[in-house]
Structure 1
Amino acid sequence: MSALAEWLGAQAPGYACTHAISPAQRRALAAIARCRTPEMGGRVYRCAHCTKHDFAYHSCHHRSCPRCGGARTAAWTQRQRDRLLPVPYFMVTFTLPAPLRAIFAAEPKVMIDLLFGESARALQSIASLPKHLGADLGMTGVLHTWGRQMQLHPHVHFIVPGGGLAEEGSAWRHTHKPAWLMPSAPVAARFRQGMAAALRVALPGRHAQVPDSCWRQPWVVDIQHVGSGESAIKYLARYVQRTAISDERIRTMDAKTVRFGYRDSASGERKECTLDAAEFMRRYLQHVLPTGVHRVRHFGWEHPAAWRRRRVVETLLAVEIVVRPKQAEDVVQWHLVCPHCQAESLRCVGTLPRVARSPPFVPRAA
């Protein structure tokens, strides 16, 4: 059970009556309230060891639900591990400066597209210069929108192989040094210039509200060597299918306040933050992505549409292709633990129908 999910479901009706929430946030709250309840239906299991029965309700699989995401995160992690190349990897982080965060909150869909597009373009443009790499990159970006106290802090993490395709895709060019990809200063400058131009075209009214100092100050781009890339994948997997906070960080929560723990980024000390219920709900909901927006995006020869170029990379690097055999459909998978005898021998023997759907539990604000 998730105490956070239960709290969100209990607080949602009152919060929606007094605060404006978007359709995406409304759907997220409704999904969290229905998750693993009779309204979702379920499955009936029978233990082959002790012959007793058990049942489980279906999950909502919403990416903002505290209960869900474990299986999908594990599957994503395994897929990314299978795609790792025998080269050094780098984590490149692009952070949106504070003056643009209000625009991000007001126009999240547009700003997320700009953040992904301009950060990837900045990396590619600097990497294409012969003095840095002179090659085309392949990279995977993961959007992260929250800070340690659940405040809005939009940034994108890219995992980038150390090298790229050069000479029209006929050769692989390694980085000049195994633990060095490229300097961060020109990448940050290119990112700042690209965001300024793109924002002026996409949202001219919002661009006019940004102070001139934002376009003159240095922007933050961090480039770190992460070895074989496995540690970076494990780190990024936490953001693929999970939301801003989990039950592990919650200390206390009731109808009035929520207290949770966090690690201070400056000192490294563990601290606690206490918010009133409405502010905690606001911070939680501001990280619900708009419908249709992808948190993970691929660029260059890592894009799914560029699979032929990806095959060229694998050939140039002599990557061993591992084909995982498919399991026969008639093979019974024993992986669920029986709550009665603790044996991993539960097998699905039936389904539970969904109960009649109740009226929408989240009323619209007047």
Structure 2
Amino acid sequence: NYLVNNKALGALYRGKFLAALTEHKIGFQSSLYAKKWNVDCRSVGQGLHALEYLGRYLMRGVVSEQSLSEKEDKVRLRYKDSQTKRMDSKDFGPVEFLQRLAQHVLPRGFHRVREYGFLAPAAKKKLFLMQNLLEVKIPNDPPPKLPALRCSLCQGIMLPIGRVISEGRLKQESLVSVGARSPPIVSIS
């Protein structure tokens, strides 16, 4: 149960890499033929977690804004450790962080994968036709309105601007239209 055989992947990568060196007439590849190559492959079970990771990576950016913070002239990156399944953080110097981030920038002419096939934005008619042929029930009722949240001090209607996530951090969300403001400052004496 694996996504790719480690030895086969290593041999394939080695062959393609050496072929590219030969094609571009880079002269030191003869010394590389004698070396053993290793590809770091890790077990991912049935591949579902790898597929979910790739899906998140391809659809979004490399690093979300919520996972970054600044501490003592360092960039702190919060991440989920794949071994322990717990949240952890790592500090980088600004230059090191930018160097690591730049490794994920796509070369000129490449585009990040978005939706494709019948889910592509240009294929809405095709998707609608498929849904009709498959008799997919598409609800057209608007979602029920939730009761307005009221301020406990002034009883005014509160507008949500975000939600609290782990460790008391606020995740900003664009739930409010233009004109949103912070709650009134109240002094407690």
How would you bin the TM-score normalised by the shorter chain? 0.3 to 0.5
Give the alignment's TM-score, normalised by structure 1. 0.28
TM-score (norm 2): 0.46
Please identify which structure carries the higher strand content.
1
Q: Which of 1 and 2 has greater Rg?
A: 2
